[in-house]
C-alpha cells in the first residue's frame, strides 16, 4: 500500500510541476478595410471585415453598398436592379452565405457575403471566387498592407 501511495504522490507532483498541457493563448483580431467611390451618378462603399485567429484567416464578411444619386439613373432603377441581380445571386452553402438588400425608396442596392473558412469547402469558395484563401499563409499585417496599397482604409480591432 505504501508503494502505491508513493507512486500516486510521484505522479501528482509530476503533473503539478509540468502542468496539464497548458494551451497556447489564442490571439483573435479583426481587420476592417473600407473603400469608397463617389461620383455624380452613384456612391459605392465596400467594407471587408476579416477575422484572424493566430494570424490564420477564419471569417470574412464583405458588404458592398451602392446608392444612386443621379435622377436620370434613378429613372432606370428597375433595369439597374435587374442587372445587379444577375451578378449577385443569393448563395447558401455550408460556411458561405450571400444576400441582397434593396431599398427602393433610397435607390440603394447592398450585397452581403459572409464566409466561415472552417466550414466552407474549397469547391464552394472557388465558385464564389475565393479559392486559395482557406489555406493562405498571409498574416493580418500583410493583408492590411496589401489592402492599403490598393487604396483601402484599414483598422485592426
Distance of CA 22 to the CA centre of its chain: 29
Q: State the pLDDT at residue 129.
A: 80
Is the residue at 5 inside a domain?
no
Each residue of 21-60: pLDDT tens digit? 555 688 899 999 999 999 988 999 999 999 999 888 999 9
Burial class (CB in 10 A: 0-12, 13-18, 19+), 96: buried
Is the residue at 14 inside a domain?
no
What is the pLDDT confidence band of residue 140, given thresholds at 50, 70 and 90? confident
Each residue of 54-100: pLDDT tens digit? 888 999 999 999 999 988 888 999 999 999 988 887 778 899 999 99
Classify residue 129 as left (phi > 0), alpha (psi -120 to 50) or beta.
left
Number of domains into which the chain is organized: 1
Is the residue at 125 inside a domain?
yes
Is the residue at 134 inside a domain?
yes
Task: For residue 17, give the C-alpha cell.
Answer: 510541476
Residue with cell 446608392: 67
What is the pLDDT confidence band of residue 20, given thresholds at 50, 70 and 90? low
Domain span at residue 29 reads: 24-156
Each residue of 89-108: pLDDT tens digit? 777 889 999 999 999 999 99
Residue 1 has pLDDT above 60, yes or no: no
Residue 133: name the closest of 57, 68, 62, 74 by CA: 57
| DSSP 8-state symbol, 5 | H
What is the pLDDT confidence band of residue 2, given thresholds at 50, 70 and 90? very low
Q: State the pLDDT at residue 101.
A: 94
Is the residue at 11 inside a domain?
no
Task: For residue 43, give the C-alpha cell.
Answer: 456612391
Q: State the pLDDT at residue 113.
A: 93
pLDDT averaged over every residue in the chain: 83
Structural contact between residues 127 and 95, judged by C-beta atoms closer than 8 angstroms:
no
pTM of the entire structure? 0.76
Is the residue at 47 inside a domain?
yes
Q: State the pLDDT at residue 134.
A: 67
What is the pLDDT confidence band of residue 145, given thresholds at 50, 70 and 90? very high
Task: For residue 3, give the C-alpha cell.
Answer: 508503494
Q: What is the CATH number of the domain that holds 68?
A: 3.30.1830
Is the residue at 139 inside a domain?
yes
Amino acid at each position: 500500500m505504501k508503494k502505491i501511495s508513493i507512486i500516486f504522490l510521484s505522479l501528482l507532483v509530476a503533473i503539478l510541476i509540468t502542468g496539464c498541457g497548458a494551451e497556447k493563448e489564442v490571439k483573435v483580431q479583426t481587420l476592417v478595410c473600407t473603400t469608397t467611390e463617389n461620383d455624380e451618378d452613384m456612391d459605392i462603399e465596400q467594407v471587408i471585415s476579416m477575422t484572424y485567429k493566430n494570424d490564420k484567416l477564419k471569417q470574412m464578411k464583405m458588404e458592398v453598398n451602392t446608392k444612386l444619386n443621379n435622377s436620370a439613373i434613378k429613372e432606370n432603377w428597375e433595369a439597374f436592379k435587374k442587372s445587379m441581380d444577375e451578378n449577385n445571386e443569393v448563395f447558401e452553402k455550408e460556411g458561405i452565405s450571400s444576400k441582397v438588400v434593396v431599398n427602393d425608396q433610397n435607390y440603394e442596392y447592398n450585397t452581403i457575403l459572409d464566409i466561415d473558412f472552417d466550414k466552407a469547402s474549397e469547391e464552394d469558395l472557388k465558385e464564389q471566387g475565393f479559392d486559395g484563401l482557406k489555406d493562405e499563409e498571409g498574416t493580418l499585417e500583410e493583408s492590411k498592407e496589401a489592402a492599403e496599397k490598393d487604396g483601402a482604409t484599414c483598422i485592426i480591432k
